[in-house]
Chain A
Amino acid sequence: MSHCEPPSAARSVGPDVLHVALVGSPNAGKTTLFNSLTGMHAKTANYPGVTVTRREAIASFGDLEVMVVDLPGTYGLSAISPDEQIVADSLAGTIEGVSRPDALVMVADASTLERSLLFVAELLRLGLPACLVVTMIDEVAARGGAIDVDRLSTAIGIPVVGVIGHRGVGLDAVKSLLSDPAAWSRPVMVPPAEAAARSAWVRSVLSVAYRPPGADNRTRRIDAVLLHPVIGVLVFSVVMLAFFQAIFTLAAPLADRLDSLFGWFAGGVRDRVPGWFGEMLADGAVAGVGGVLVFLPQIILLFLILTLLEKVGYLSRAAFLADRLMGRFGMEGRSFVAMLSSFACAIPGILSARTIPSERRRIATMMAAPLMTCSARLPVFTLLISGFVPDRSVLGPIRSQGLVLLGLYVLGAVSGLAYAGILSVTALSGPAAPVVMELPPYRRPTLMAVLRQTWEGAWSFVRKAGTIILGSSLLLWVLLNVPSSTPPEGLTEARQASYQLEHSAAGTVGKALEPVFAPLGFEWRTNVALIGSLAAREVFVTTLALTTANADDASLPDRLQELRNDDGTPVYDAATVAALLVFFVYALQCMSTVAVLRRETNSWKWPAIAFTSMFALAYVGALVARLVVDVVT
């Protein structure tokens, strides 16, 4: 190997390490191959400027090290989605800081070779050393087809290996190929570029080496049920409800336990580390880390369920079923999955929009995601509903409090769809890429592959949201504690804290904001809590607990009910509570979401539009809610 140094002890990736890229269509088995070639050593990072995940690993073959990069799945090089653009740019060598690959490993599913070889033809025109790995050759045989890899290799003019990924068949042949790409045979004749000529090239190559498999009857039989006009829609609803239910009933208790664990831990830190530093550590850093980790149980569950549905093949069916509905609002089937994820958290929702090829539908989806009722709103809703909505039966087992909560979810979802619909005929009008989705065969995923993808998703959440939540909660601590003031004599400890808050920077801002929020019925304590909620919405509850702290250890809802204005009227009357609930349905009080929108759209334009328009919606909506409740009561 001319351009391969002996492996260094430091395993550094120098320019001399051979760089091999895996290229292929989605569902071709590319990632399975990547995992079996590289073991557990993959590291993920982002491509510069975009948040497309770059998966690479150093694979050792004997004394030789090769850097293997798993490129996103794509059908061709005429890129339209950010994922596909990365593939085109990587192969052209135009990404800053990332060298052009030295060789290509093209991965193609044996059962769809008639399509994947079209992409192979396009890739061969790049002139890089290339080999072809044909995956899932067992499926072809099981369905009565046949493939002769040696003849295929002769016909195309490059090395061809057949593999069965989950059983490890053919892996050694791939590994020994990778040790010396310079020795790979090259096509005698470069395949043609024009589509019909390419198609003829594919036909002639396959005519000598391939008997196509028969129909995939298992997939057909499953689809006859899952895509059935009645049964299919029923199953769809049940799957989505179960998904929703699982996130709340399975993850919520875990999140509560984590929350109290961190509360206890913060208390311990406060007791042991003296002075302001201990307080900052406890109420800023520990509370901030806790604020991130509280989300983790449901984020992990969300990614686990989504990964399972995707790998089994159901996610594309769900997108197929929901496409028409989402199309009415300027989005597409895949947007449905993003919307659904956003009920847990807008960030994974926005990230999953990446696979939507059309830019305008992708942006419409990302912009609507924050209006879905994320789980961080739930503590706020729970506090206000349990404290102020009388709990009575409306119709049998259906109770008023649950009905109000359901109403808020519906309000968010309907508004989100309408918001995307309005955007797509105003700021986002124009031509859009076609909606074409492949429905892969149903397959049983391996446990490792599912766990791996779940872990990667959860970790990307921690990286993207974690730093922002942590940073914001440290900043919030400073705002709540600076400048330090001396409370008057004779106050209880809790009242002292509340006095300090009132005279802090945050308290001052909260008071300065009173004219703005007075029409909604919010006074300074609420305003300070609203500022706090910019770190993450559920911080509203803890901040409100601080600003309303008093002598008697009453529960937070009780304290809120007892709060009085100067004229003796309650601060939290029905109208104000209604206004606050509606405000939380709409307002984009989440800096992590703003930051992720900024990264995913690569501009400040969309997060700025989202923040201001959703604030306006929140303000007007809260005002309307207040007026309506005032009239009714």
Chain B
Amino acid sequence: MTVTRRLSDVAVGETVVVRSVAAGEGGHGRRLEDLGVIAGTLVTVERRAPLGDPTIYEVRRSRLAMRRADAALVQVASPDEPVTHFDGETHVAL
């Protein structure tokens, strides 16, 4: 069984793999995909702002600041979890 969490709940310093991105309102999901937050992508939680929000994530070697509410749309799992992706690979290290 795979345990999924929301990206907003992942602790600073941890690396996770994106499982799915919810569509959200106002084009949220599509926007996140444009920035590289796509199923199979590795995301590292780097730093929170002094006031606790937003948080910096490292995604595909770029650094994105994302608000808690938007990061909550991203379902993630531990990169150690076996994931069978559509292209047959187990987890994807991007």
Contacts and interface: CB of A to CB of B under 8 A. Distances in A.
B64 A437 contact: yes
A78 B86 contact: no
Given A80-B27, A112-B60, A436-B32, A227 B49 contact: yes
B33 to A, nearest CB: 5
B51 interface: yes
Nearest to A319: B65
Majority-rule SS of A interface residues: helix
Contact of B50 (A321, A358, A436, A438): A321
A99 B94 CA distance: 38
Interface in A156-215: 195-200, 202-203, 212-213
B38 interface: yes
Contact of B67 (A111, A202, A223, A327): A327
A438 B58 CA distance: 10
B27 A115 contact: no
Contacts of B14: none
Nearest to A78: B30
B38 to A, nearest CB: 5
B24 A112 contact: no
A196 B39 CA distance: 6
Given A114-B61, A115-B61, A213-B61, A324 B54 contact: yes
A266 B41 CA distance: 66
Nearest to B54: A323
B68 to A, nearest CB: 10
Contacts of B73: 434
Contacts of B63: 438-439
A439 B73 CA distance: 21
Interface centre among B28, B41, B50, B85 (most CB of A within 10 A): B50
Interface centre among B36, B41, B64, B94 (most CB of A within 10 A): B36
B11 interface: no
A318 to B, nearest CB: 11
Contacts of A80: 26-27, 31
B85 A437 contact: no
A433 B26 contact: yes
A210 to B, nearest CB: 11
Interface string B20-61: 010011111011111110111100000101111110100111
Interface in A413-433: 431-433
A203 B94 contact: yes
A325 interface: yes
Interface centre among B30, B49, B86 (most CB of A within 10 A): B49
A115 B53 contact: no
B31 A433 contact: yes
Nearest to B34: A76
B92 interface: yes
Given A433-B31, A434-B28, A438-B64, A118 B53 contact: no
Contact of A433 (B28, B35, B60, B61): B28
Contacts of B39: 195-196, 199
A435 B66 contact: yes
A119 B40 contact: no
A417 to B, nearest CB: 15
A202 B35 CA distance: 14
A324 B59 CA distance: 22
A248 interface: no
A440 to B, nearest CB: 8
Interface residues of B, number: 42
A111 B63 CA distance: 12
A320 B65 contact: yes
B61 A112 contact: yes
Contact of B87 (A76, A200, A202, A233): A200
Contacts of B61: 111-112, 114-115, 212-213
Contacts of B25: 431-432
A100 B56 CA distance: 37
B49 A324 contact: yes
A324 B38 contact: no
A119 B70 contact: no
Given A196-B86, A232-B50, A434 B66 contact: yes
Contact of B40 (A199, A320, A437, A439): A199
Interface centre among A114, A230, A325, A434 (most CB of B within 10 A): A434
A357 interface: yes
A114 B54 contact: no
B62 to A, nearest CB: 4
A434 B50 contact: no
Given A233-B50, A438-B35, A199 B94 contact: yes
Contacts of A324: 49, 51-54
A229 interface: yes
A323 B35 contact: no
A333 B28 CA distance: 18
A75 interface: yes
Contacts of A213: 61
Interface string A105-134: 000000110110011000000000000000
Given A196-B40, A438-B63, A439-B65, A323 B53 contact: yes
A223 B58 CA distance: 13
A432 B38 CA distance: 21
A437 B53 CA distance: 13
A76 to B, nearest CB: 3
Contacts of A320: 49, 54, 56, 65
Contacts of A228: 50
A333 B85 CA distance: 36
A118 B50 contact: no
B60 A114 contact: yes
Given A199-B41, A434-B31, A439-B56, A323 B87 contact: no
Given A434-B67, A434-B70, A75 B34 contact: yes
A327 B36 CA distance: 24
Interface centre among B25, B54, B59, B64 (most CB of A within 10 A): B54
A114 B60 CA distance: 6
A232 B49 CA distance: 10
17 contacts: A75-B35, A80-B27, A112-B60, A114-B61, A115-B36, A196-B85, A202-B94, A203-B94, A223-B47, A227-B49, A233-B50, A323-B65, A357-B31, A432-B26, A433-B27, A434-B26, A436-B70
Given A200-B85, A433-B28, 15 more contacts: A76-B31, A112-B62, A114-B60, A115-B59, A115-B62, A195-B38, A199-B92, A199-B94, A212-B61, A213-B61, A433-B31, A435-B70, A436-B32, A438-B62, A438-B63
Q: Closest 8 interchain pairs by CB? A: A76-B34, A431-B25, A324-B51, A434-B70, A114-B60, A431-B26, A115-B36, A115-B60
